[in-house]
């Protein structure tokens, strides 16, 4: 049994479209990632994010409870 890749004419025909879709997908990932970074950096108080990481953070526990 051979696993040699069969190069079909269809692969060449659709190459442009497939690479186009690849570019769009990479672009979407980059946009969502970039937006996430910008939005997080725009938060003045980083402890707002720490509340959501499910890890105990002594610095965000109100003083009277310590």
- The span from the CA of 3 to the CA of 53, in Å, is 45
Is 38 a binding residue for another protein by CB under 8 A? The answer is yes
Residue with tokens 């890890």, as numbered in its chain: 55
- The span from the CA of 60 to the CA of 46, in Å, is 10
Is 21 a binding residue for another protein by CB under 8 A? The answer is yes
Is 14 a binding residue for another protein by CB under 8 A? The answer is yes
Interacting span for another protein (CB under 8 A) from 11-19, 48-56, 58-66: 11-19
Q: Which residues bind another protein (CB under 8 A)?
A: 8-10, 13-14, 16-17, 19-21, 31, 34-35, 38, 42
């Amino acid at each position: 049994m051979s696993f040699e890749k069969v190069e079909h004419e269809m692969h060449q025909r659709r190459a442009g479209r497939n690479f186009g879709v690849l570019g769009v997908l990479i672009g979407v990932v980059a946009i969502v990632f970039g937006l996430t970074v910008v939005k997080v950096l725009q938060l003045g108080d980083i402890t707002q994010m720490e509340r959501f990481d499910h890890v105990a953070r002594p610095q965000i526990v109100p003083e009277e409870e310590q």
